[in-house]
Structure 1
């Protein structure tokens, strides 16, 4: 028996004759050896079946057909490939290790009720709190029973930052405040307020400034615009504080960055990664000796307000779950999940519980936080991070002034993005489940106490919500032509489309001719014919004429327009414009 060095005494000889040649072991069989051309061919087959490509088109055309463009004009390929990272230097990787900080938001309101909500949140696993306050807020009542040495508090008092910070420190007394506590001066505060709060923070070893990108996100800004604005605002903080005698390192050490995350998960992951890269570069150019490279940056992610809807608010749970997942994967240090019912009014106990439990499910059951930078190395995410960082840097160049971000330039930029997004929503290219798609006119919305927590928020579905707020009294008569199997597809499409504008329908049911349709018509002024093309050709015009004779004044056809119709509805139309016309005809 041979006993080579390291072998176990008494063990068996290594079966050297059975060892494969080094480098020859294949872990996949011939059937698993796929090339990019195979993917192109399979994808092209699907697009040809759906008539998005012709038989004469080259398979490689799938890249043009499926590449989408973000609101920042960044192309996003349908498949991440190694070539995307050619000449790309990876930067902005998350530094957080372990669970993120679960941060609850509390809007301004009665202190006693707020205190009860905070204590329930903290008992339920929240690890920090974000408080809105003003000079009149009684912090002693609001924070009664809150262990400030364990739970960091982040203040949000734009109207009185110094007074609230002083009141908070007075309430804390000699208590050692938890790491992460932030006195919360806004990056847009006056120079005097910013310096005063910063000095209070330095004296107590706390954070003192929040650069809140959600302020411009709520107005409709794109990802690059939010990032670019935040960097311009943060640069202004550095200028103001260093002019007051602080070092760049001291000023940078006071700052926490806050960003919105949406249900577009890859874009949100890339946004948070790009933010770290951008802030590191700003600090480097500012002459900082800390904050550059891999050392921690403080990033707070908040689920987007504009993406949420007042109608079918239960869908907001799905939106915020995806957004929170993106925040965790993107490396956010703190994550705030806004309650699903927040657009309706002050969230109740159930809404707040679902919000905090979203993070717990992601951390404790899905183990999202147990992997450092899970998106790292993803071709698509690394490329999108780089593209977004470059786009944001260009926005920073346009907005940055010695006094801070150029607000007039920002407004012009945001207006352009809002117009593009509104058009995508109007045509349902950007669908909003429960609002523009699959609306439920029979739903009963939860009742919530009114509050100011949604002021200044421009909802993505604002125009459709306005239609739902004032539904027309009269329904549309849905003239279904032919048997159920022949009209179901278009009838369902028309019903959902009209419901998106708050318009109910009266359905004719199975019919075999104009007489059947007129027999169930009860005087509705607007009618919508829904059937197969062959049925339209056979007796659609006769049905339209019979309905006009019975009192209809506006005839819509589901599908392509016909010369005998007043309007039509089909996939790809401007749904908002169509619904506006239809509602006008119902008056």
Structure 2
């Protein structure tokens, strides 16, 4: 028998609980774990963390954290979506292969298997514009929207594409001509002049076709934070609005010609909040311009390039799935999932298939797109959205005070992004920002797939960072050495005493490509030294418990020295005679690895 809702109270029999009650319970648990917060408030603070935008993420949220003004889907301020109803997002696949025949084959396979729009890279770093007709051979341009990415050749690419459609007697099915002079300048450092208004007027002749892309991914790829990416994008959008309206377009016409492109990362909640905050910000701009009903931002999400790894590339499938989920749940209109082998070169058919099926799984099987704004109403997501939008708006005002996006690209934006990347780099080095399969749980025996080299993107402009880059460079350096350099793990005492720290040390050294050789469960310094000699290593690391270190660390370190160890590490903390330095959670793993490489004489 079905129980009616009014007859069933899930909270019946339970006393009412408050945030203070939870904080007191958390305080007790923390004290039992060895932490010593002085009050419930300090307990909550100790469980909080701060993002790179200095936004505090708390361990607990309640109705008091809910900001006002999220609205409803499809209406200003569009936080809950630019569309009033849910529905599948546009599955947009990127193609940059320079061979037009292989591109055509890949494009047709994509369109036959779930892709709904195409993103074509033309010119430097992609397909030669002269080959566009061959690459789009067999493509129904009146059914498949095409987004162009031609950089300085945008005007010529737009002409070629529109001529191609006209020659086939069809009108383009939408898409974007890709005019983005400030984004191109951010990527390459080269100022480019494009007739935005002229392109906008041409695009306006075809329903659904836009002329202007605000690509915010160069700011993300330079190591910027989410709010910095948002602020740069809104500042760029404002610059384009000024250019279009100065050329005679109305505000409404100008707004209808602009699409925004953002990076989606494996941090699903920040990704959801970022896309919601972006719509809030753009709606605020439209309202300030006198067109509040036209501020529904059109968003294209691209899974982050910075987070992709060349090592253990299969893990990228998990990263892009989380990023796609975050973008879809956050309300992106179109989503591009990068193939898992993107860091290795040009993707193959299998990698593109997995990228397509990531969308299909989330949309068809998981039902992520069945409702509009599935995260809406979550106290955590709503608060995070509002805080992220506030941080981005502050950054936007800094850019505007500097003279706008164009002027800020001279100094303000690069310096701000560099400072954020320095903070993130420190966390990566200390492995508090872990990269699975690289800085954590590396697989030295992996067999990576081989891929043809991808065309090099245009140089200059903002840097392109890789979260895994510093560790992967060391892995490459270790791979070139013959034999592979190794570190001896001097495991002192029984297995139960040394296993945790031996595993920690092995994980750290292997993150740099160094092999580890573990000794037996011994305490005799002479026996451990003999194992060290047989290992062929020149560096050793003591692994055991604090209690056993007190008795055995100094004599074992001395024996290892006599056996030829150039450096003796210790996994743990504390000062011990004969030990050069210690490894511990939160230590600078890159510093440890560089020092070890030098000790082992590994060539750069």
- Aligned partner of 1:410 in structure 2 is 413
Shift of 1:34: 3.6
Are 2:179 and 2:211, in contact at CA under 8 Å, matched by a contact in 1? yes
Moved more, 83-92 or 214-223: 83-92
Partner residue of 1:77 out of 41, 54, 58: 58
Alpha-carbon separation, structure 1, partners of 2:520 and 2:405 = 66
Q: Indicate the SS of the match to 2:564.
A: coil
Counterparts of 1:59-74 in structure 2, within 5 Å, are 59-74=40-55
- Aligned partner of 2:389 in structure 1 is 389
Moved more, 274-283 or 41-50: 41-50
Q: Indicate the SS of the match to 1:268.
A: helix
Moved more, 276-285 or 454-463: 454-463
Are 2:52 and 2:225, in contact at CA under 8 Å, matched by a contact in 1? yes
- Aligned partner of 1:239 in structure 2 is 242
Are 1:191 and 1:240, in contact at CA under 8 Å, matched by a contact in 2? no
Structure 2 runs not aligned, ≥5 long: 72-76, 185-191
Alpha-carbon separation, structure 1, partners of 2:217 and 2:456 = 13
- Aligned partner of 1:103 in structure 2 is 92
Are 2:162 and 2:172, in contact at CA under 8 Å, matched by a contact in 1? no
**Is 1:184 aligned with 2:178?**
yes
Alpha-carbon separation, structure 1, partners of 2:6 and 2:340 = 54
Alpha-carbon separation, structure 2, partners of 1:399 and 1:502 = 42
- Aligned partner of 1:374 in structure 2 is 374
Partner residue of 1:532 out of 545, 566, 585: 545
- Aligned partner of 2:150 in structure 1 is 157
Please say which structure displays the higher CA radius of gyration.
1
**Is 1:513 aligned with 2:529?**
no
Partner residue of 1:30 out of 13, 20, 29: 13
- Aligned partner of 2:129 in structure 1 is 136
Alpha-carbon separation, structure 1, partners of 2:287 and 2:406 = 19
**Is 1:214 aligned with 2:217?**
yes
Shift of 1:44: 2.7
**Is 1:556 aligned with 2:558?**
no
Shift of 1:243: 1.8
- Aligned partner of 1:580 in structure 2 is 594
Counterparts of 1:418-437 in structure 2, within 5 Å, are 418-437=421-440
- Aligned partner of 1:44 in structure 2 is 27
Are 1:310 and 1:343, in contact at CA under 8 Å, matched by a contact in 2? yes
Alpha-carbon separation, structure 1, partners of 2:406 and 2:485 = 52
- Aligned partner of 2:199 in structure 1 is 197
Are 2:181 and 2:194, in contact at CA under 8 Å, matched by a contact in 1? no
**Is 1:123 aligned with 2:112?**
yes
Q: Indicate the SS of the match to 1:511.
A: coil
Shift of 1:175: 4.1
Q: Indicate the SS of the match to 1:490.
A: helix
- Aligned partner of 1:271 in structure 2 is 274
Shift of 1:569: 0.4
- Aligned partner of 1:468 in structure 2 is 475
- Aligned partner of 1:227 in structure 2 is 230
| Deviations, residues 433-454 of structure 1 (Å, cap 9, x unaligned) | 1111111111121111111367
| Deviations, residues 250-294 of structure 1 (Å, cap 9, x unaligned) | 1111111110111111111111011111111112222336414xx
| Deviations, residues 286-333 of structure 1 (Å, cap 9, x unaligned) | 2336414xxx43111111110111111111111111111111110011
Alpha-carbon separation, structure 2, partners of 1:253 and 1:95 = 13
- Aligned partner of 2:159 in structure 1 is 166
Alpha-carbon RMSD: 2.2
Alpha-carbon separation, structure 2, partners of 1:65 and 1:179 = 53
Shift of 1:172: 0.8
Are 2:261 and 2:302, in contact at CA under 8 Å, matched by a contact in 1? yes
Q: Indicate the SS of the match to 2:152.
A: coil
Are 2:172 and 2:206, in contact at CA under 8 Å, matched by a contact in 1? no
- Change in 2 beyond 3 A, CA 1:24/1:360: closer
Alpha-carbon separation, structure 2, partners of 1:501 and 1:50 = 32
Alpha-carbon separation, structure 2, partners of 1:59 and 1:290 = 45
Alpha-carbon separation, structure 2, partners of 1:119 and 1:488 = 53
**Deviating runs (4+, > 6 A) in structure 1?**
22-25
Are 1:482 and 1:513, in contact at CA under 8 Å, matched by a contact in 2? no
Q: Indicate the SS of the match to 1:183.
A: strand
Alpha-carbon separation, structure 1, partners of 2:247 and 2:194 = 9
- Aligned partner of 1:12 in structure 2 is none
Partner residue of 1:544 out of 554, 557, 560: 557
- Aligned partner of 1:448 in structure 2 is 451
Alpha-carbon separation, structure 1, partners of 2:110 and 2:456 = 18
Alpha-carbon separation, structure 2, partners of 1:410 and 1:275 = 18
- Aligned partner of 2:466 in structure 1 is 459
Are 1:148 and 1:175, in contact at CA under 8 Å, matched by a contact in 2? no
- Change in 2 beyond 3 A, CA 1:406/1:108: farther
Q: Indicate the SS of the match to 2:204.
A: helix
| Deviations, residues 385-426 of structure 1 (Å, cap 9, x unaligned) | 111111111111111335735111100110110010001111
| Deviations, residues 533-574 of structure 1 (Å, cap 9, x unaligned) | 222222221111111111112111111142320111011111
Alpha-carbon separation, structure 2, partners of 1:534 and 1:27 = 50
Shift of 1:376: 0.9
Shift of 1:191: 4.3
Moved more, 549-558 or 492-501: 549-558
Shift of 1:104: 0.5
Counterparts of 1:211-360 in structure 2, within 5 Å, are 211-288=214-291, 290-292=293-295, 296-360=296-360
Are 1:232 and 1:404, in contact at CA under 8 Å, matched by a contact in 2? no
Between the two proteins, the alignment pairs up a number of residues equal to 563
- Change in 2 beyond 3 A, CA 1:94/1:86: closer
- Aligned partner of 1:93 in structure 2 is 80
- Aligned partner of 2:187 in structure 1 is none
Q: So what's the TM-score if we normalise by structure 1?
A: 0.91
Q: So what's the TM-score if we normalise by structure 2?
A: 0.89
Shift of 1:72: 0.6
